Structure 1
């Protein structure tokens, strides 16, 4: 498990800088969440860092999922399974699925790269995620047709016939005694794939991103006035005071708090009056404060 930390520091030539630093590789005997937590807390204690003073996030990356590898020998059963896999990945459904996932991952990756930009802040991050949510809402309506066209073009190149497997047969339920015998009802194979595969992907992605957007939006609501210099300069004093006290409550736990809302309000009232016009970013505010 690698261990990174972000911090702000002062440099006589460059002023205030915020950077991430690699600290160490931590040896873990077990990849369970509890064991990783215990190892991390022990390392923080050895470094003299208090967990209550740390702010950040961690990624499991699915390391708790263990896979047992089994050696496959040459036998008829293995050959049949290999042939089945070959047939599956040579099918039109598989090709269409690849096209769908390409569109999904391309959109997510584009936004993800922007979110990692050095000058990214909460307001822009919130807008990017909101745009991605809207993309998937539109993608559900139009993405299937676009992916189908792409899959057919690829199919012509690869020699894959644009044909779905035979659709399942469903029987129409009898509602009354006088109705005739149940008749099989043909369901379009393409429609089945669209409903049971494409819609599931689009809805799952949209819901997941919606939760992330709502989380980032809530952070922007709480911290945004510190990032948006123009808003900080123009906001009325009563609203500024309310935001400062709200931030105090948000960053409090039991009897401890990270900031005093009233003191922050007093400092920001003075700061916004003395900020030079050319200071338009949060990083610019830090550099300006470092000089005074």
Structure 2
């Protein structure tokens, strides 16, 4: 409706949005998020399965953690390769950040030309590494929580563990720990 009325502000915003969506930075960010969230979705679906045991959950989290650590080292190159397949007509160069000009009031102050970084370095520092590190930290916390649960309530994880708890006369202490966990709200 506003385009029919020739609303200048809306049409300018739409053009700017179209340019941004076609930009290299947007596509690489989109591909990076998709690749990481696809792996996280697999882990999430696995963890929500009612029939999976805790050992399998821990192994899926370990696989996800290894994927994220490998993606941290080579993920930008992977995303760039996929971006080239999506958009042939884009300018694939990293956008160069605008340089800051520092006003020198005194002769002993230096202009910070040594702080100049390339567009790739800025992209990695401001977007890629914080995203991957946040995901890695979340998976690490989940892994530690699962391992704590496994060490406390191992006898519940499979018939062989239950049998070994019975044979080693550890079942009463394990059941007491389980009852304590239920009272404290650690187990639903």
TM-score (norm 2): 0.80
Indicate the residue corresponding to 1:251 in structure 2: 182
Is 1:137 the equivalent of 2:69?
A: yes
Hey, what's the Cα distance between the residues in 1 that align with 2:110 and 2:179?
A: 70
Q: SS in structure 2 opposite 1:169?
A: coil
Quote the offset at 1:76 in angstroms.
0.4
Counterpart of 2:35 (choices 103, 112, 120) is: 103
Whole-angstrom distance in 2 between the partners of 1:86 and 1:178: 46
1:110 Cα deviation after fit: 2.1
- What are the residue-to-residue correspondences of 1:1-292 with 2, within 5 Å? 73-74=2-3, 75-156=7-88, 159-170=89-100, 181-184=110-113, 185-235=115-165, 237-252=168-183
How many residues align? The count is: 179
- Ranges of 4+ aligned residues in structure 1 off by more than 6 Å: none
- Give, in angstroms, the shift of residue 84 of structure 1: 0.9
Q: Distance in 2 between matches of 1:251 and 1:117?
A: 21
Q: Quote the offset at 1:219 in angstroms.
A: 2.6
Whole-angstrom distance in 2 between the partners of 1:198 and 1:126:
26
Q: Which runs of 5+ in 1 are unaligned?
A: 1-71, 259-292
1:83, distance to aligned residue in structure 2 (A):
0.9
Return the structure number with greater relative CO, CA threshold 8 A, min gap 6. 2
Greater helix proportion: 2
Shift of 1:238: 4.4
Greater strand fraction, Structure 1 or Structure 2: 1
Q: Distance in 2 between matches of 1:178 and 1:241?
A: 78
State TM-score, norm by structure 1.
0.54
| Structure 2 unmatched runs, 5+ | none
**Displacement of 1:170 after TM fit?**
4.3
RMSD between superposed Cα atoms in Å: 2.7
